[in-house]
Amino acid sequence: MLEVRTAGSRVLVKVRVRPKAARDAVVGEHEGALKVAVTAAPEKGKANKAVVEMLSRALRIPKSHVELVAGATSRDKTFAIRGTSREAIEALVNEERP
């Protein structure tokens, strides 16, 4: 089950990142975290930036609403997201994938 918490007007979500993937996509859930794959390499913040862009696109919110709050150099990260709901984030896991 996806671990999503609310903190004021923000939703906190744990994210497990797989860098250097074939494509950018939400690929499911991993031990309570939203599992995402990004094509960017894990160097100089490129993968983190790619995750922010992918989450903002998937949730249809501005990139400025997605903030990395923990795990900058780890595969396991925590993002604080404004302008969305817990249900919208949980729906990302359940979307159909090709």
Q: At the top level of CATH, which class does the domain 4-94 belong to? A: alpha beta
**Strands 33-37 and 25-30, how do they pair?**
antiparallel
Element (H, E) at 87: helix 86-94
Task: Report yes or no: 78 and 11 within 8 Å, Cβ to Cβ.
Answer: no
Domain boundaries, given as residue ranges, for the chain? 4-94
pLDDT in tens, 12-27: 999 999 999 999 999 9
pLDDT in tens, 29-53: 999 999 999 999 999 999 999 999 9
**Global pTM?**
0.89
**Strands 10-18 and 33-37, how do they pair?**
parallel
Residue type, 58: A
